[in-house]
Structure 1
C-alpha cells in the first residue's frame, strides 16, 4: 500500500485544488455582490434620510457637514493656511511636516463632528428632558422669523448670555424645531471629557482652550477653523462671557472670539457676518447650589465623568419657566461702515448691550429685588407689591421686555411667585391681623440675589442717579447737573467690571432721559441746570437707591482692608480668600449690613476697580497653566481717602466709618 500512496496524492490533489479554487471564486464574487448591495443600500438610506431631514429642516446647508477628519484635511490643504504654516517653519526652526502635524493635532482637538443623523433621536430625548425640568419655554417668534430670512444667505453667529450648561442644548433644540440648521457651538475644552465630549461633538460643539497665550499656531488653527465655518455660511454659537455667570448678571465680555470674527471679516473675503445677540433667562438654574457655594468661596469643581451619576437628583424638582429672546441682528459689514475704525471693544459692547436689552424681566427677579432692597428684614405683602408696581412703571417707560405673566395680571403672578419662593424655603411667611409678612432667611440671600441680578442692568443707572440725588438732601434738596455727571462718572469707574454701561449715547443724554422720567413722576423738578428733589419723590427714590447698596457695601468693605495691605505683594487666589474673609468679618461686626455683599465675585470686581483707580497694581508671572497674577498694594493716602469718602457717601446707612 505504501507504494501506491504517492499516485493517490497525484490524482486527488488537482481535484481538491480545483474545488477549492472554484469555491473561492464563488465566495469572492458573492462578497463583491454583497459589498455593492450594501453600498447601494447605504447610499439609498443616506439619500432617504437626507430627504427626511430636509423635509424637517428646509434651511439645511446645501451639503451636509463633512466628517471631522475631512474638515481638518480641507483646512490643512488650503493655500492661505499653508502660507501661514510656512511662516511658522521659518520662525520655529521646525520642518513643514512637524508644523503641519502640530496644526493637525490642534484642529482635531478643536473641530466639531456635527451629524444630523442622530438629531431626530437626540431631539426626542431633549424634548423629554426639558419637559421634566421646565414648565414652559417662552420664545419671541419675531426673532426666529428674522433668522429664517437670513438663513442660507449669510453666516449667522448667535451670541447668548451664559447661565447654565443647558444653554448649549436649548439653542440647538429651538433651532431644530424651527426647521433651522444646527449651530456649531464654541465650548470650553473642559467639556470634552468622555463620553460627553463625543456626544457634544456630534451635536455641533467645537472645543477651545481657556487660554492659548504664546501659542500662535493654536490661535491660527482656531482662526482657520472659524473661517472654514463662516465660508460655509454656517450657524455658529459662542458665549461672549467666556464662562457661566455665577451671579445672574452678564460678565464683562471676553473679546477673543469677537476679535477673530472681526479679523475673519476684514481679511477673509467674506461678504458679511451677522451677529445675533440673544438672552436666556431661567426662573431657576440647575446649577444653583454649586453657584452659591462658589460665591461663598468654594473652588469651582472640574467637570468629569462621575458627574453623570449625579444627574438623577436634578429630576427631583421643576425649575420653572425659561425665557428666550433674540435681539436685532447686528451686521459686521454695517458696523464697520458706520465707524472710522474697526474697534473690537465697541463691537463687544454693542453685542453685550443687545444681550442685556433683550433680557426678559421675570416676576421672580422683581420680587427678589423687592425683598432684598427693603430697609426692614420683614415685609408686608403690600410693600412687595408697591415696589414691583413702581419697577414695572419704569420698565415700561424704558420699553424693557417683560414676561407674558407680568404683562397680564401681574398681581396674581406676584402671589404665585411668593408662594413658589416660600415652597422652596427661600422665603418664610407669617400672618396676623395686619396681613401676610415675609422674611428672607439670611442663608437664602445669595440665591435671591442671583434672581435679582438677572434684570438689575435695567435699574443700575436709575439706582445710581437716585443715590446721587438723595445726597442733595444736605444741600437744600438741590444739586446741579455737572455735579450729577461727576458723581455718576465715579460710579461708572468704580463699577467698571461690575456692570456693562452702554456707549450708544453721551452721558448727558443718558442722564437727561432718566431725569425726564423722574420729572414725569413728579419726584423732581428741573430749573435749567438745577435739579430739585421733591418730598413725594423721597420714598420711591430711596427704594430704587437700595438696589445697589449691597454692591456699595462690598466695595467699601474691600476698600477698608486695603490699608492693612499697603506695601505688600500677594498672589491672586490668596488675596481673594483673605479679602472675602475680611468682608465676612465686617458683616459680623455690623460694619456692613447686607449678607449678599459677602460674595467672591464682588471681591474680584472690587479689586479690578481699585486697579483701575490706581490703588492696586497687578502683574502676571509665568505663561500658560503656570501663569499667576500678583497684586501690589501701593497708594497715596489722599487718593485712598477720597475714594473711601465717595463710596461712603453712597451708603446712607453707614454715615460714618466703623473701625
Structure 2
C-alpha cells in the first residue's frame, strides 16, 4: 500500500454505484481496462487501493498476437480520458489518452480475434452542486470547473468519508467497432469524444447540472420575453406601475423556486437514514438497475403514486443512496411552513399553488419549469394531485403534465421520459388522519403543531417500505403518435389544441397504468383482501392461511406483470406481521384460533385492500358468477368479461386491451381448474358444493371486488328506473351517491370509497363513451338498447338481497 493511499484512507470511505457490479454486463472471459474521467493522483490511488482490497477485479489487458491475455500491474491498466497539465495555468489535454487508444486499436486490428473492454470509472469526493458564495462551499464541493490541488486537498478533508465510485457499462473495442474508412487515429479521437460525453452525463446524473443558471435563476426567469410581456400586461390589468408589477413577479419567483443546497441534502440524508431504520424495517428498491442507464441519456420526470407525505422524501433519499442527484420536487404550497419549507426548498423542492388564478403566476411557473427541463434537471411530481385517502389511484390531474409537455415541445434538451414508481407501505404514518377523513371529518391543514404531534408516532412500528420502479414512458413516442410534426411547433401558455390534450391524457393514463403494473403485495395487503371479504371480518386460522395461499398462488402462477412483486413471508409470518403492526388480532378458541380485524381498523384495512384490487380484477369477477349459482356457461362468462372490461379498466387503470383481458380470463379459468376451484365439462363451468373449502375460497375471492360491481349496478338500476330524459349526469351522480351512502349505513359495508362521488362520475362518463347512454342538447341522459344486457348480466353476479335493497331505495 503506497504512502498516499495510507494517508487517503485515513479519511476515505468508498461507496459504489451500482452496488452490485455484476449488473454492468462485464464479460468475465474478456480482457478489460479501467478508464478514469481524469488523470488524478487521488482518483488513481483510490481505484488502485479498491483493487488491492479486492473490492474491484484486477484489470486484464491484451498484449499481442503471440501472448494470451494476462493480468498486468493494475496501474498500467488504468487509463484516463483527460489529463490536467500546467502548474499554475491549468489546461486539459486529451491527446495522451487518444494516443493510448490508438495503440490499442492497432493491436486489435492486428489481432481481430481479440477484444478489449473499457470500463468507465468516475470518482466523486462528495456530490455537491457548484455554488457562487461562501469559501467553505467553494473549497469543499464537487464542481464543473478544473479542480486545483489545494481544492482537492480540502475536498478530501470534507468529503473523503463520502466518496462515490461510479462504474458504467463497458465499451467493447473489437473488430465490430473497427471502421476501415477511419484510420486508428480518427477512431481513437471518436472514442475519446464518446467517453468525454459519457463522463459529462454521469457527472450530471450524480452531481446535478452545472448550476450557473441557478445562481441567477430569478433574474433569468424574469428576463424572459414571455414573463416581461406578462408583467406589463399585469400592470395594465391591475392599474399599477410596472415597477410594482416587477416586484410582484420577483415575489412569485422567490415563492416558487428551489434553493438546492448540498449541505442541506447531506443533513436530510443523515436524518432520514436514521428515520428509515428507526421507524421502518428499511427501504427496498426494486428494478432500479433497469432505469439506471437512462439517467445519463434522458431527462427524467419521476411520477410516483401519492400515498403519504413520506413520498416526497423517499425517492430523493433512495436515489441519493444509489449515487444519483435527488430530483427537484413539485410540492404543494401548503408545505411551505416555517423551517420545514426552507429545509424542503434546500432539498430541491419548488412550491406550487393549488390553483393558478393569476396569469402572471402561471406564466412565471411555466417558464420556471421550462428552464428546469431545458437544463436537464430531473423533476418529481405526483399526477394524482393529492394523497389518495382510499388507497386507489386517483384519476390524473392534467396541470403539471400539460406544463411539462408544453415546456418540452418549446425548449427540449435531452429526450424526456416519465418514470412511474409504486410506493408501498405496510403501515402509513397518516393512517389515523386518513381514517377520520374517510369517516367524514374535514382534512386538517398542515402546520408546525401538527408536525410535532406526528413525532409521537415515531415510537410505533411501520413495517417495510417498498419502491418498485415501473417501465419508463418515452414522451417522444406519444407525441409522434398524435402529432407527427410536433418538433416544428411552439405552443403558447394557454394554447391547448385537441392533439395536445390527447397527448396529456394518454401520458397520464399510461403513468398510472404502469404504476399499477409495478405494484408490490405486502402482508397487510393480503390480510386486507382476505379478511374484509369474510363475514364479520374474521376467519379461522386455517381458512385464512388457505385463502392467503390462494392469492399468492394466483399472483405467482399468473403474474399481473413482470414488475409485480410479492412478499416472501410465509402465511403464518404474514399473520404475525399483521398482529405486530396492530391491524389484526388472534383470538384463542377450543375449536381453533380465530383471526379478525381489530375493531377500529376496518376502515383503514380497506385502504390496503384497495392498493391491490386491480391484481384480482379477472379472478374476482369470474368467482362472482359462482356465488349465486353452481353452474355457468363458459362462453357467457367470457362475454360478460368483454362487456364489463372498459369500466373496470377505467376505474382500476388496468393494462390490457379488451381482447387481452378475455385471454387473461381464459388463463385464470385454467388456473382455477388446475387448483380444483372449478370443474368443467367443456361448455359448463361448475363449482364445488356449498360449504366446501373450495366454494369458500371462491366466495372470499368474489367478495374482494363485489362492492365495485354493486356500485356499477346502482347507476344502471337508477337509469333503468328513471328512464330517458329525466336526469342530468350531475343528478345521476348525486342520487347514486346518496343511495350508496345509505346502503353503507344499512349493511355496514365499512368502505367509504363505496360512495365516492368521483368513482360514480367517472363510471357515468365511461357509460357515455361506450354508448350505453347518450346526452341530449339539454344535458339530459338518453338510454340506449345497450343498457339492458348490463342490467341482466348484473343478476348473474349480485345476490337477490343486494339487488332488492338497491331497488327499494330507488
- Structure-2 change in CA distance of 1:222 and 1:172 (3 Å): same
Residue 285 (structure 1) shift: 0.5
Cα deviations across residues 486-536 of structure 1 (Å, max 9, x unaligned)?
55544643x57642133xx43012221231232244266899xx8531335
Instruction: Determine if the alignment matches structure 1 residue 416 to structure 2 residue 561.
Output: no
1:650 correspondence with 2:797? yes
Q: Cα deviation per residue 1:333-364 (whole Å; 9 max; x = unaligned)?
A: 24434566662222112111221111211111
1:549 matched residue in structure 2: 706
CA contact (8 A) 2:741 2:755 kept: no
1:477 counterpart SS class:
strand
User: CA distance change for structure 1 residues 531 and 238 in 2, over 3 Å: closer, same or farther?
Assistant: farther
Give 1:181 shift: 0.8
Question: Is this contact kept in 2: 1:373–1:543, CA < 8 A?
Answer: yes
Identify the residue that residue 395 of structure 2 maps to in structure 1: 252
Contact 1:367/1:388 (8 A) holds in 2: yes
2-side partners of 1:146 and 1:440: how far apart?
Answer: 38
Per the alignment, residue 395 of structure 1 pairs with: 555
| Change in 2 beyond 3 A, CA 1:345/1:275 | same
Shift of residue 648, structure 1, vs aligned partner: 5.7
For the residue of structure 1 that corresponds to 2:593, the secondary structure is strand
Give the Å deviation of 1:478: 0.8
Among 660, 663, 687, the alignment partner of 1:509 is 660
1:532 is matched with: 684
Aligned counterparts of 2:618 and 2:159: Cα–Cα separation in 1: 48
Deviation at 1:238, TM superposition (A): 0.4
Q: CA deviation at 1:112?
A: 1.2
Change (3 A) 1:639 1:276: closer
**Residues 1:324 and 2:467 aligned together:** yes
Contact 1:362-1:402 within 8 A present in 2 as well:
no
In structure 2, the CA distance between the partners of 1:600 and 1:437, relative to structure 1 (3 Å rule), is: closer
1:243 aligns with: 386
Q: Secondary structure at the match of 2:465?
A: strand
> How do 1:88-103 residues align onto structure 2 when only pairs under 5 Å count?
100-103=246-249
Shift of 1:640: 9.2
- Cα 1:634–1:401 change in 2 (3 A) is closer
1:381 to 533, 541, 544: 541
Q: Distance in 1 between matches of 2:600 and 2:338?
A: 36
* Contact 2:258 2:346 (C-alpha < 8 Å) held by counterparts: yes
Q: How far apart, CA to CA, are the structure 2 residues paired with 1:260 and 1:40?
A: 30
What is the 5 A alignment of 1:256-655?
A: 256-337=399-480, 343-375=503-535, 377-396=537-556, 397-398=558-559, 399=561, 401=563, 406-407=567-568, 409-420=569-580, 424=582, 426-441=583-598, 443-467=600-624, 469-470=625-626, 473=629, 477-480=632-635, 484-485=638-639, 488-490=642-644, 492-493=646-647, 495=648, 498-502=651-655, 505-522=656-673, 532-535=684-687, 540-554=697-711, 583=740, 585-590=742-747, 594-596=749-751, 598-599=752-753, 602-610=756-764, 612-613=766-767, 647=794, 649-652=796-799, 654=801
Local SS of the residue matching 2:521: coil
SS in structure 1 of the partner of residue 460 of structure 2: coil
In structure 2, what is the equivalent of residue 32 of structure 1? none
- What is the deviation of 1:612? 4.9
CA RMSD of aligned residues (A): 4.1
Relative contact order, higher structure (CA 8 A, sep 6+) = 1
Match of 1:49 in 2: 141
Distance 1:558 1:458 in 2: 24
SS in structure 1 of the partner of residue 302 of structure 2: strand
Preserved contact between residue 472 and residue 533 of structure 1 (Cα < 8 Å): no
> Map of 1:120-269 to 2, 5 A cutoff?
120-140=266-286, 142-143=287-288, 145-212=289-356, 215-269=358-412
Change (3 A) 1:200 1:479: same
Contact 2:773 2:783 in 1 (8 A): no
Equivalent-residue separation in structure 2 for 1:254 and 1:174 (angstroms): 26
Residue matched to 2:224:
78
Q: Quick check: 2:373–2:412 contact (8 Å CA) kept in 1?
A: no
Whether the 8 Å CA contact 2:299–2:416 is kept in 1: the answer is yes
> Quick one: distance in 2 between partners of 1:634 and 1:378?
43
Q: What is the CA-CA distance between 1:100 and the residue it aligns to?
A: 4.7
- Counterpart-to-counterpart distance in 1, 2:563 and 2:524: 15
Q: Distance in 1 between matches of 2:466 and 2:353?
A: 30
Deviation of 1:368 (Å): 1.5
Aligned to 2:207: 60
Q: CA deviation at 1:166?
A: 0.9
**Cα gap change, 1:641 to 1:256, in 2 (>3 Å):** same
CA 1:644 to 1:510, structure 2 compared with 1: closer, same or farther past 3 Å? closer
**Does the 8 Å contact 1:551/1:602 carry over to 2?**
no
Instruction: For 2:767 and 2:599, locate their aligned partners in 1 and report how far apart those are by CA, in whole Å.
Output: 33
Provide closer, same or farther for how the CA distance between residues 607 and 359 of structure 1 changes in structure 2, counting only shifts above 3 A.
same
More helix by share: 1
Unaligned runs of 5+ in 2: 1-130, 143-154, 165-202, 485-498, 689-693
- Residues 137-173 of structure 1 show CA distances to partners (whole Å, capped at 9, x for unaligned) of 1112x41x34543334432111111111111121111
Aligned partners of 2:545 and 2:572 also within 8 Å = no
Alpha-carbon distance in structure 2 between the residues aligned to 1:182 and 1:588:
46
> 3-state SS of the aligned residue for 2:587?
strand
Moved more, 639-648 or 220-229: 639-648
Give the C-alpha shift of residue 273 in structure 1.
0.9
TM-score between both structures, scaled by the size of structure 2: 0.64
CA distance in 1, matches of 2:661, 2:729: 40
Superposition TM-score, scaled by structure 1 size = 0.77
Residues 653, 600 of structure 1: alpha-carbon distance in 2 compared, 3 angstrom cutoff: closer
